[in-house]
Amino acid sequence: MQIYWSSRHAAHGVAGQSCMEKMGPNDRLKRLRYRASHRGTREADILIGAFVDAHSAGWDDAALAWAEAMLEEQDVDIIAWAIGTAEPPERFQGPMLEALRKLDYVPVTR
């Protein structure tokens, strides 16, 4: 078994579980919230972080896995999917993406 570390791949242990699968739901959610709001640009932090903050409270394992996979994508791609200037891959289509596209969770200051 080859073990490797990168932002796109998890190391697999003896049981074949990724380190994400070994985390409890609360730990996964904490990690997800941090990663969503610390993307590298203010725009991505606000858009992606606000989405996770607004919607993640009731997420099950499938929704958490969807969001974790999305965070592996480039910020410019996620933002383009959210504002509708690019079509996301099939694996991201569905109700979660529709919630992302509503943009009703982004704080607006005047």
Q: pLDDT at position 13, please?
A: 44
Which backbone phi and psi does 27 adopt, to 5 degrees?
A: -65, -40
Q: What six digits make up the tokens of 108?
A: 């607006």
Q: Give domain limits for the chain.
A: 24-102
The top-level CATH class assigned to 24-102 is mainly alpha
Q: pLDDT at position 6, please?
A: 43
Select the more confidently predicted residue: 77 or 12: 77
Residue 15 pLDDT greater than 80, yes or no: no
Mean pLDDT of the residues in the chain: 85
- Contact status, residue 75 vs residue 40, Cβ threshold 8 Å: yes
Q: 101 in the Ramachandran plot: left (φ > 0), alpha (ψ -120 to 50) or beta?
A: alpha
pLDDT tens-digit profile of 44-79?
A: 999 999 999 999 998 999 999 999 999 999 999 999
Is the entire prediction scored with pTM above 0.85? Answer: no
